[in-house]
Amino acid sequence: MDALILLGSMFLFIALGVPVAYAMGLAAVAGALWIGIPLEAVMIKISDGVSKFSLLAIPFFVLAGAIMAEGGMAARLVAFANVIVGTIRGGLSLVNILASSMFGCISGSSVADTSSIGTVMIPQMEKAGYPRLFAVNVTITGSVQAILIPPSHNAVIYSLAAGGTISIASLFLAGVLPGLLLGLSLIVLCLVAAYRNNYPKGQPVPLRQAVRIAGEAMWGLVTMVIILGGILTGVFTATESAAVACVYAFLVTMLVYRDYKWRDLPLLIHRTVKTVAMVMILIAFASSFGYVMALMRLPAHVTEFFLTLSDNKYVILLLINLMLLVLGCLMDMAPLILICTPILLPVVVKLGVDPVHFGMIMLVNLGIGLVTPPVGATLFVGCAVGRVTMEQVTRTIWPFYIALVIVLMLVTYVPFISLWLPGQFPG
C-alpha cells in the first residue's frame, strides 16, 4: 500500500499535467503524510538534495557545452570529421556520427548534439543526395553517444542518485568504450546502407585546407583533454574540471573563434540558468522522494520481488532492460535516473553487478528512450531540425534501433566494456 500511495500519486499528478519534478515533490508529501513523518523532514531533504559540491559540475558543463555549441564548434567538428572520413562512400553519414562523437566530448547532451550537428549536417546530407529521413535518423541516433562519452551530465546525476558513493571520474571513464562502440555500430550500419543504396562519395580536402581545419577543431577538442586529463592526473576534481572547461570554452569561443557576439552572451547565460534551474529543482524534489521511498523500504521490497522471479543475474538484467526501455519511452531521462537508481541499484548489487557497470546499462537504456516515441526529447528536436514528422521517422528508424539494442546487450552482458578503462585508473 505504501508503494501505491507514493508511486500512484506521482503518476496521477503527471497524468494531470503537473511537471515531473513537482509531481515527485507532491508525491513525497503524500507519502510522508501516509506513513506519519513530519513534513519538516521532507523539506530538509529537499534542501539537502541540492546542497552538494559535486552538483556544481552540472551548471559548468552545461554552460561550457552551450558556449561551444553556439560559438561555431559544431561546424568546425563537422569539417574536421569530413577530412577524416568524408571521401568514403556514404562518407557524410560517417561525418555526422564522428562529429557527434567529438561534439559529445564537449556538450555532454544528446539534445544539444542533435540541435548543433543536425543543423549543419541534415541540410548538407540532403543536398548531397541522401534521403532526408536517413539524415535525421543518423543524426538523432548518433547523438546518443553524448549520453555516454564524458562529460555526461546524466552520469553526474546517476552518481548523485546512487547516494554519491560512485566516483564521477569512474563513470566518465566507463562511458568511453560504450560510447565509441555505439558510434562504431552506427558506422557499420551506415556503410552497409551506403553500398546498398549507392550513396555518394565526398571530395578529398586539399592538404593545406585540411591542416587549417584540423587546427581550428583541435581548440575545441582540447576541452576533452582538460576534463579527463585533469581528473586522471589528480590536478582537479570532476567539479573543478567542469569550471576549468567552462573558462576554457569561453576563451576559445570569444577570443579564438570569435564567431559569437558579446551582446548575445547574456541571452546564452539566461538560457543556461533556466536549464540548470529545471535540473536542480528535479534533483531537489527527487531527493525527498527517495527519502520517503527509503523509509517505506521500497527498494528492499523490489529486490525481494526480483529475486522471487529468478536468482540468475542475466535474467534479472534482461528484465530490468525491458522495464527501462519501456519507461524510457514514457518519461524523460533525468527523472528516471533519479527514480529508478535507488530502487534498482540494490537489486543488481545483491546479484554481484558493479554499480559503475549498472550505470552504463542504465544510460544506454534511457539513451535509447530519448530517440523513441512518444516522449523522446532528442527525437522531437531531430524532427524539428530536419522538418519531418515523428511518424515518418518511426517508420524508417528501426534498423538504427536494432544497432542500439545490440550495443545495449553487449554493454549489459560484457562488463569488460564498461569496467576496463576505470580499472586502469583506480582511485
For 369-399, give the secondary structure using H, E and C: HHCCCCCCHHHHHHHHHHCCCHHHHHHHCHH
For 273, residues 6+ apart whose C-beta sits below 8 A from its C-beta are: 59
The residue extents of the domains of the chain are 2-424
From residue 214, alpha-carbon distances to 90, 104, 143, 150, 299 in Å are: 21, 17, 22, 21, 50
**Roughly what angle, to the nearest 10 degrees, separates helices 313-330 and 298-309?**
120
Dihedral angle computed from the Cα positions of residues 112, 146, 327 and 345, in that order, rounded to the nearest 10 degrees: -140
pLDDT for the residue numbered 174: 93
| pLDDT averaged over every residue in the chain | 86
pLDDT greater than 70 at residue 426: no
**DSSP label at 258?**
-
pLDDT greater than 60 at residue 427: no
pLDDT greater than 80 at residue 330: no
Question: What is the tens place of the pLDDT at every residue in 16-37?
Answer: 888 888 888 898 898 888 888 8
**163 neighbors 401 (Cβ within 8 angstroms):** no
Alpha-carbon distance of 187 to 185, in angstroms, equals 5
Q: Positive or negative CA dihedral for 69, 72, 73, 74?
A: positive
Q: What angle do CA 47, 49, 52 make, to 5 degrees?
A: 105
- pTM confidence score: 0.86
Residue 134 corresponds to which cell in the numbers above? 536517413
pLDDT for the residue numbered 416: 95
